[in-house]
Amino acid sequence: MKIFTAEQIRNCDEYTIKNEPISSIQLMERAAESSVDWIFENCKNHRNFVIFCGSGNNGGDGFAIARMLYLKGFDVDVFTNLKAKFSPDANNNFKDLKEISGISVKEFKDAKEYRFDNRTVVIDALFGTGLSKNLEGELKDLVEFLNLKNNIKISIDLPTGLFADKISSPDSTIFKADYTLSFQFWKRTFLHPESGKYTGKVRILDINLSSDYISETATNDFVIDDDIIKNIFKIRDEFSHKGTYGKVTIVGGSYGKIGAAVLATKSALKTGAGLTFTLAPKCGYETLQTSNPEAMFIEGGTDFVNDFEVNENSVYGIGPGLGTNEETAKNFLKFLKDYSKPLILDADALNIISQDKKNLKLIPAKSIITPHPKEFERLFGATENSFERVELAKNNAKELGIYIVLKDHHTQVVTPQGQVFYNITGNSGLAKGGSGDVLTGVLTSFLAQNYSEEESAILGVWFHGKAAEFASEKHSKESMLPRDVIDEFGNVFLELNAKLERAL
């Protein structure tokens, strides 16, 4: 799914109005109907809705939602600035609302005297994508007041006070929603930790904006959705053999850190690699052979890896539990000088490279590196926020000709061409040591199976997150372990295959 800027979204609205054709008020009605359908389906146990409406088109959505919810039998109260100059469409919906005697319309200042009981849902329709500066005055006070309420809160299109395309200042006031009902598109701010924390759970509502405009309009930002994955994933050929699915070599492990190599190896095996090898120190031999008997062991040292075997016919995933021993570091950097094909670099492999900026030039072209924020900082330098981090990643991905998988709540795949793919699968259950090792195995396996580097990165982060969702359903986010994520790989493959077979 493409991510558009606020300006592009407005242009998409205008294009739809002109070419469908449909009037702007009818398009607003469509947006309101989609919101009410979701609210009706998900808020059946709540009887009262309090809707806060601004003077622009977001407020117009709110007026229409109020009318529709009332007609469905809910109790509805509306708060607005009665002296404001409403946009034309908002004004039309406000006039229609005033015709309904059962809906009370109050001033914003009256909200402090309102009784918010535990069955009241608060709906924010104060500001949409048209906001250009931080909230101030009456609206700032109102949002701060509403944020103190424990009621379920729903924002229409995006939370008031949040910008669509840029980060807000740390001292800005933003409505903190439990759910955000966004029309047609994700906004970039939903996908970054500093701003996404205000959206709650995001639900994208299809309001049938012009498919021609969407397909023809360029962007460099995308959400990894089912359509992208279905275009990447390949069903296995019945007439294939182990040689068809490539050779993987996981390089990692050191005394006390063999578990990382175990997880990466098992992950590569369970994602379908044809042949899997683990290059690890002798101290991990029994553990690795017992836990992963399907993988072959290559001895790379005694207590740490100091002998990096070069095999151009294998795809390497290097880093899990590797350590940064001086001899390990020296021989790893020598390996990079001798190996020319794309590989996967994570964890201590990145920490070794970060010891000298010149080492970045040793990373083979088209390789995939998977830093978490601190590892990224050590490699490329500090940034003020995650928006700046993505821009720095784009610059370095282009300069080095590599793919950067920025691990985060919504992990970003940054390509050498400057595109950014945001992943929306996964959950906080992955916030445990070992999760990155599992991802390394997934990425290495897919790259060995002849997925392109871009396809491997996109499919890999989506697949990893999807398995985590299944694992959390079975074990909870708190209790799930990285090995539980690996155990769910089969279920992800079953779902993928079923979807593709239905589409044939």
**Least confident interval from 129-133, 245-249, 452-456, 488-492:** 129-133
Terminal Cα-to-Cα distance of the chain (whole angstroms)? 22
φ and ψ at residue 181, rounded to 5 degrees? -100, 100
**Is 90 exceeded by the pLDDT of residue 501?**
no
Helices (H), 174-306: 193-196, 211-216, 226-232, 258-270, 285-291
Tokens, residue 350: 């990145």
Nearest to 269 by CA among 294, 299, 296: 294
Contact 259, 435 (CB under 8 A): no
Every domain of the chain with CATH number 3.40.50.10260 lies at 6-219
| Residue 421 tokens, joined | 């793919």
- Residue 488 three-state SS: coil
ω into 320 cis (within 30 of 0): no
Q: In which residue ranges of the chain is CATH 3.40.1190.20 found?
A: 230-503
Q: What tens digit of pLDDT does each residue of 134-188 get? A: 999 999 999 999 999 999 999 999 999 999 999 988 899 999 999 999 999 999 9
Strand partners, 420: 221, 414
Whether the CB-CB separation of 3 and 422 falls below 8 Å is answered with: yes
Q: Give the containing element (helix H, strand E) for 468.
A: helix 453-475
Phi, psi (rounded to 5 degrees) for 123: -115, 125
Contact 281, 455 (CB under 8 A): no
Buried b (16+ CB within 10 A) or exposed e, 297-313: bbebbeebbbebeeeee
Q: How far apart are CA 158 and CA 181, in angstroms?
A: 7
Confidence band, pLDDT 50/70/90 cuts, at residue 243: confident
pLDDT (tens digit, 9 = 90+) per residue, 439-496? 999 999 999 999 999 999 999 999 999 999 999 999 999 999 999 999 999 999 999 9
Give the CATH class of 6-219. Answer: alpha beta
Fold of the 230-503 domain:
UDP-N-acetylmuramoyl-L-alanine:D-glutamate ligase (3.40.1190)
